[in-house]
Structure 1
Amino acid sequence: MTDTSSDPSAETIAEAVQAIDGVHSLHGGLFGEVATYLPGGRVSGVRIGDDGVDVHIVVRTGRPVLPVAEAVRAAVEAITVGPTHVTVEDLADVTGD
């Protein structure tokens, strides 16, 4: 079950993740199943549950994947309680970005 009343909000977590160098975007999973549902919308790529926070990301090519994933985990765990599970779903070739 997804907890939509947790502090910080899924939006705050998403902002923290997207501010990390090397993160291209959040990713909703193969079928869009990784999300937190809110009144009037949803935050794809962040799922807050009883067993912690799941974050699914797309990493920019040319960035080291493991350090980016570890930076995401550390950033989320700094603002939440419980474990953070980070999944790298894809790489994004963003030449000229």
Structure 2
Amino acid sequence: MTLGGAASPVPQEPADRLVAAVLAVPGVAALHPGMFGEVGTYLPGRRIAGIRITDHTVDVHLVVVFGVAVRDTAAAVRATVAALHPGATVNVTVEDVAPAGPP
């Protein structure tokens, strides 16, 4: 839809904002869909793996970079998600470790 010739911005889904924020945390390599692919948020026409949002809980499943402090990285992710979803219980699960990239 356009107004005055300019395209209206498409509102970003909360799950999309969470993905961007979590992937920006140092030490996070990727999101992980869970052992059987059970962790995800379903949106019209797509699925976001690694993030599950309910009324009172946000579950985040991660792959961390080898060599980072896992607990510190999980705590940073928890704080980042809590800032975007105040009042929600945030559960962070580290599912895997990825090799560090080139220096």
Fold conserved (TM > 0.5)?
yes
How far the C-alpha of 1:95 sits from its partner, in A, is 3.9
Q: Which runs of 4+ in 1 moved over 3 A?
A: none
TM-score (norm 2): 0.83
State the Cα deviation string for residues 12-46 of structure 1 (Å, max 9, x = none): 00110000000000000011110000001011000
Q: How big is the alpha-carbon RMSD for the aligned residues of Structure 1 and Structure 2?
A: 1.5
* Higher relative contact order, structure no. (Cα contacts within 8 Å, ≥ 6 residues apart): 1
Alignment: residue pair count: 91
Residue segments in structure 1 that go unaligned for 5+ positions in a row:
1-6
Structure 2 unaligned residues grouped into runs of 5+: 1-11
Aligned to 1:58: 63
Q: Determine whether 1:28 maps to 2:29.
A: no
3-state SS, counterpart of residue 59 of structure 2? strand
Q: Which has the larger radius of gyration?
A: 2
In the aligned structure 2, how far is the partner of 1:73 from the partner of 1:8?
Answer: 19
Q: CA deviation at 1:8?
A: 6.1
1:70 corresponds to: 75
Cα distance, 1:51 vs structure 2: 3.4
In 2: Cα distance, 1:68 partner to 1:16 partner? 13
